Structure formats: structure tokens, C-alpha cells
């Protein structure tokens, strides 16, 4: 991609840039999101990575809970914008919570966040009952090229976010 392409549907970008199992898994997530009555996909209206990445934000009510990035190098990722609103929830699935914990992003001065520099908003937070220090207030580590198992975790994470978002004030530059 040399210039940002515009897509009406995420499936078009998935089909154009992904192959094999990656394409099938991404299409399954797109189907899940499209079949939901309370979620929608919104194409990012500006160029990302000099046109090399197509981004669709996941909207629930008036909040963006995450995004899906489709990259021209054949990979994709799901990123939840903020885990800090999940503290009041508990989940008995230890593999799921371990996967969430692996994707928590400690704040660092080199994170490259364009909206706040220097970042003074990292915080101590509780996520699924476990305390974490110095957590980035708006970015997680994305699920890069998730497999079927991680796709299940992503869907579960989206469902938790849908329960939490309307009840919490969460700042994220992508809510704009």
C-alpha cells in the first residue's frame, strides 16, 4: 500500500491482505462483530503507517472499545484500548486471565504515544482481581495474528468491555 485505501467493509481488507488461517480467523472475528446488535466497525478516517495499515475501530454505544488493524505485510491484530476498567470482574478461566495479563502494557517513556508526552497518566490498577503498577492508561499489547484459542479470548474480552464501558469514564485518544 502506498496510499491509504478506503474500505466499506473490514472483510474486503482482510481478503485483500491476509491469507490462510490468519484470514479465516480475522473473518470469524469480523462476522462476530457484524452479527452483534450493539457493536459496529468504523473505518479510521486518517492514514496510518503511511498507508500500510487499515484500521477499524470497534464501537459500542458511543465508546470505542478497541480496534482491528490489517497490515499490508500480511498480519493483523486486535487491540483493546484499555484494560483498567476490568478490575471489578473475575473470571474462573485461568488461561483467559493469563492471556489478558500477557497483554497489559506497562507505561514507558518510549511507548510512542502521540497524544501525551511525557505521559503522567500511568496508574496502578486492578485487572480481573490482580493489581498492576505503572499501567499505560490507554494502550494494551495487541493480540497479533491470533489463533482460534485467542479469538475466543478476544470475544470474551469484548463482552467484558461492553459491560464495563458504559459505566466507567475512560479516556482514550481514539474515542475522538
pLDDT band, very low/low/confident/very high, at 174 (cuts 50, 70, 90):
very low
pTM of the shown model? 0.83
Does some domain include residue 5? no
Q: 34-56 burial by CB neighbour count: b if 16+ within 10 A, else e?
A: eebeebebebeeeeeeeeebbbb
Q: pLDDT value at position 13?
A: 94
Does some domain include residue 1? no
Q: At what angle do helices 20-35 and 148-164 cross, to 10 degrees?
A: 30
Does some domain include residue 4? no
Identify the domain containing residue 110 by its residue range: 10-175
Place of cell 505485510: 73
pLDDT > 80? residue 157: yes
> Cα–Cα distance between 126 and 128 in angstroms, integer?
7
Q: How many domains does the chain have?
A: 1
**Average pLDDT of the segment spanning 30-49:** 90
Amino acid at each position: 500500500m502506498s496510499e491509504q485505501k478506503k474500505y466499506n467493509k473490514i472483510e474486503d481488507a482482510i481478503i485483500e491482505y491476509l491469507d490462510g488461517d490468519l484470514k479465516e480467523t480475522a473473518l470469524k472475528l469480523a462476522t462476530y462483530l457484524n452479527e452483534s446488535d450493539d457493536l459496529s466497525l468504523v473505518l479510521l478516517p486518517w492514514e496510518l503507517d503511511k498507508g500500510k495499515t487499515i484500521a477499524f475501530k470497534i464501537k459500542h454505544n458511543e465508546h470505542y472499545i478497541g480496534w482491528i488493524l490489517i497490515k499490508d505485510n500480511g498480519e493483523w491484530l486486535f487491540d483493546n484500548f484499555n484494560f483498567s476498567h476490568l478490575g471489578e470482574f473475575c473470571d474462573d478461566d485461568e488461561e483467559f486471565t493469563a492471556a489478558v495479563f500477557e497483554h497489559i502494557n506497562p507505561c514507558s517513556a518510549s511507548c510512542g504515544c502521540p497524544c501525551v508526552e511525557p505521559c503522567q497518566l500511568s496508574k496502578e490498577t486492578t485487572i480481573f482481581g490482580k493489581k498492576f503498577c505503572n499501567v499505560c492508561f490507554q494502550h494494551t499489547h495487541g493480540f497479533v495474528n491470533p489463533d482460534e484459542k485467542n479469538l475466543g479470548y478476544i470475544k470474551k474480552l469484548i463482552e467484558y468491555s461492553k459491560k464495563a464501558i458504559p459505566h466507567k469514564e475512560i479516556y482514550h485518544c481514539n474515542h475522538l
